Structures are given as structure tokens and as C-alpha cells.
Amino acid sequence: MSACRENELDALLAGELSDEDAARVRAHAEGCAACRHALTWLRMERGWMAQRARRTPSRPALDFAALEARLAATAEPSVVPHRAPHESPWRGWRTMLMGAMATMACFGLGLVRSGPTTNAEEPWGAEVLVAASGEACEDAAAALEARVGACLIATPGLALRN
Amino acid sequence: MKMVLAGAPPSDTDGERALLRRARAGDPAAFRRLFERHAPGVWRFLRDLLRDEEAADEATQETFVRAHGRLQALRDEERLGAWLLGIARLVYLESRRSRGVQVDVEAEEHAREVEAVLPTPSPEDLLLDRELEGLLTQALGTLREERRAALLLRIDHGLPYEEIASVMGWSLQKVKNEIHRARLSLREQLSAHMGGSRP
Ligand SMILES: [Zn+2]
């Protein structure tokens, strides 16, 4: 299974493919044990992550009042954060905006991006060949798979449950 | 075959665009609605990166303070969810640096082609019980930080691959490869727990 092939299956489940592409990928998967196997894992992963997301605990940081207080404090850092009850907490919008922009600007300068993490020793196998052809890898993978008449990963004897 | 994902991030509907316009015009109620929609996902992303709930609280607030100040900079074609997660990632990187945490101290996962020997999960594996959830969190924790971030942006936050490339500053191909490898690593680590059939 190439990264690109799995990406297509994943996009299929996410409803991101055009009708035409979805039909093509689905038709392929029906006759391909490796793709069906990958689809089972992908579906399960989606189910797990959805269950996990639903269990997001309620945290103090998710209370908007806490954010309001912080925005007020950010807006007027040197002022005692008292305000009349009728006063909008958004009074300091402009000050805060400038402060935040300055922060972002400084931060942007300090941002370091790490370089590529490709490790030649990793057994990347056929995928690296496909990946090397660049962004059009779906086509390359599909062509290669068509030539060998199977998905890039062969799973003979794979017991599949439906 | 379209699968509706419960617990997925809110999609950028017309409603969200309208809220965004109002928030940009200075309507606090609109900003509040956007916060309430997106804060849980942002918190979860930060919790998964920082692996510390209290640190995630702090970083979530910081993310929204910055977002609030930068709302005008959000381009029309950008999706709010992806934009917020991008800010969250920057806040995370900054917080990690300030805490002096070393990059990638965790054991690098074995990036092996393991698919061929993985069992096919059975229907009962779909239930994420507490034990499995713990294992899943543990398995996520073994991934290199960047790989983990990319994977979560996809499988938890539902970002398209192109948006992940933009958030991570990677090529589309690298995004695909990293996510694929992250998935294989998770599957390998979790397969021992699965009751499914083995080849
Ligand atoms: Zn296939």
C-alpha cells in the first residue's frame, strides 16, 4: 500500500473525492484485498477518533469567560483590570490587536522550521520510488500497480472478514 | 459511502462565514460562538501535542488571544478551523522552546512496512473502550511530534491534505508520506490488542 493509494482510500471515506474518482476507487477496492484491508483500518481509526473527540473533557480553558478576562488583561497590562459592569470587555480591542500583532511578528522571526526528515536507511521500499516522482504520485502509483497487476503491497493469503 | 464523522470539527458553513464577518466587525457574541465551536478541538490538539492537560489549557487560551488579535489577517479563502490549529501549533512550538523541552526525545517509532502482517480488525474492535483509548493515546505519544501533529490534523481534525501541508509548511507529498507512516506505526502498536483475524 503506497501512501498515495492509502490517501485516496482515506479521501474516499472523508467524502473528498469527486463522484467519478469515488466510483473508480470503490470499484478498485472491491476487487483488491489490500485496499479492503486498509479501508477496514481507516474506518476503525475514524470511529476511534470520533469517540475520543466526544470525550473531550470540559476544561477551564474552554470557558469563554476565562478568555474574556485574559483578553481584558492583555489589552491593559499595566492597568488594574477593573471595569464597570456595563462596560464592554472589548474596549481594549485596538490596544490588544496591536499587542498581539507585535507578538506574532516577534514570534514569526523566531520560528525555526526543521528540515526534511528523510532517512535513507529507512526501508521505504517501493514507496520512495513512487514518492520521488513528486506530487503526481497517484498516477505513478496507479500506473505501477496497473503494470504489476496488483496493489504495491501484496497480501497473499490475507484473511479478510467482511 | 460518505461517512459522517461525529465529533469532527465543525465545517465552514455559510453560518460560520457570517459569524466570522461579524466577529471581524467587532461583535463579541459572534467571536464567542466561534470560540465555543472550535475551542474543544484546539484544546484536544494541544493536549495531544503537549501531553499535559493544564499546559493545554494555557496554550488554548493563548491561541485564542492571538486569533482574536489577528482575525483581520485571516484570508477569505482560509478556513477558520485550519487557521486556528496553525496558530495552536505555533503556540505549542513556542511553549516547548520556552520550557526547554528537547525536540523528539521520545523514541522514534519503527517506520516499517508492517501492513502485510497486521490483522484485519473485527467489528468489536470498533468500540474504543478505556483500555484501548489509553493504548491509542500512548501510541500517538510515541510518534515524533511533527508526524503526530500531521496525523492528528487529518484523523482528528479532518483537515484536507493541502491544508495540513500549509499548516506544517510541508510539501503535499511529505504530508502524505508522514501520515501514512504514522498510521502504520499506530496500527502496528495497536494490533496486538485487536481481536481480528491474522493473515
Ligand atoms: Zn488496491
Pick from A2, A46, A68 the residue to mutate for testing the B interface (most B CBs within 10 Å). A46
pTM of the model: 0.71
pLDDT per position as a tens digit, B41-54: 999 999 999 999 99
Grid cell for residue B63: 491561541
| Average pLDDT of the residues in B19-24 | 91
Cα–Cα distance for residue pair B12/B37, rounded to 1 Å: 11
Cβ distance of A26 and B70 shorter than 8 Å: no
- Give me the DSSP letters along chain A: --HHHHHHHHHHHTT-S-HHHHHHHHHHHHT-HHHHHHHHHHHHHHHHHHHHHHTPPP-GGG-HHHHHHHHHHHHSTTS-----TTS-TTTTHHHHHHHHHHHHHHHHHH---------TTS--THHHHHHHTGGGHHHHHHHHHHHHTS-SS--TT-----
pLDDT per position as a tens digit, B128-177: 788 889 999 999 999 999 999 999 999 999 999 999 999 999 999 999 99
Point out the residue among B1, B70, B94 whose CB comes nearest to the CB of A22: B1
pLDDT per position as a tens digit, B68-79: 999 988 887 778
Cα–Cα distance for residue pair A40/B121, rounded to 1 Å: 7
Cβ distance of B66 and A100 shorter than 8 Å: yes
Per-position pLDDT tens, chain A of length 162? 777 789 999 999 999 999 999 999 999 999 999 999 999 999 999 999 999 999 999 998 999 999 999 998 887 654 444 444 444 444 334 444 444 444 444 344 333 333 333 333 333 333 333 333 334 444 444 444 444 444 543 333 333 333
Cβ distance of A51 and B177 shorter than 8 Å: no
Report chain B's C-alpha Rg in angstroms.
18
Cβ distance of A103 and B66 shorter than 8 Å: yes
Beta bridge partners of B197: B120
Task: Specify the pLDDT at position B74.
Answer: 86
- Residue A17: closest C-alpha in chain B: B2
**Residue A43: exposure state from Cβ atoms within 10 A (0-12, 13-18, ≥19):** middle
How close, in Å, is residue A72 to chain B by CA atoms?
10
B197 phi, psi to nearest 5 deg = -80, 145
B115-191: which CATH topology?
Arc Repressor Mutant, subunit A (1.10.10)
Nearest to B148 by CA among B61, B52, B45: B45
Q: Which amino acid is at B59?
A: A
Where are chain B's structural domains? Answer: 13-98, 115-191
Neighbours of B27 (CB within 10 A): 14
| Candidates 1.10.1740.10, 3.10.580.10, 3.30.390.30, 1.20.1530.20; CATH matching B13-98 | 1.10.1740.10
Note whether B194 and A161 are within 8 A (CB): no
ipTM: 0.81
DSSP B120: B
Cβ distance of A26 and B69 shorter than 8 Å: no
Longest dimension (CA), chain B: 59
pLDDT per position as a tens digit, B187-199: 999 887 776 555 4
Cβ distance of A3 and B112 shorter than 8 Å: no
What are the C-alpha distances in Å from B176 to residues A130, A153, B93?
12, 17, 22
Task: Specify the pLDDT at position B131.
Answer: 85
Grid cell for residue B98: 520556552
**Per-residue pLDDT at B22 exceeds 50:** yes
Hey, what long-range contacts does A61-70 have (CB within 8 A, 24 or more apart)? A61/B39, A61/B43, A61/B56, A61/B57, A61/B58, A61/B60, A61/B61, A62/B39, A62/B40, A62/B43, A62/B60, A64/B32, A64/B35, A64/B36, A66/B61, A67/B35, A67/B61, A67/B64, A67/B65, A70/B61, A70/B65
Cα–Cα distance for residue pair B155/B1, rounded to 1 Å: 18
- Residue B173: closest C-alpha in chain A: A135
Name every chain B residue with its beta carbon within 8 A of the beta carbon of A106: none
Name every chain B residue with its beta carbon within 8 A of the beta carbon of A21: none
How close, in Å, is residue B122 to chain A by CA atoms?
7
**Residue A25: exposure state from Cβ atoms within 10 A (0-12, 13-18, ≥19):** buried
Cα–Cα distance for residue pair B147/B107, rounded to 1 Å: 13
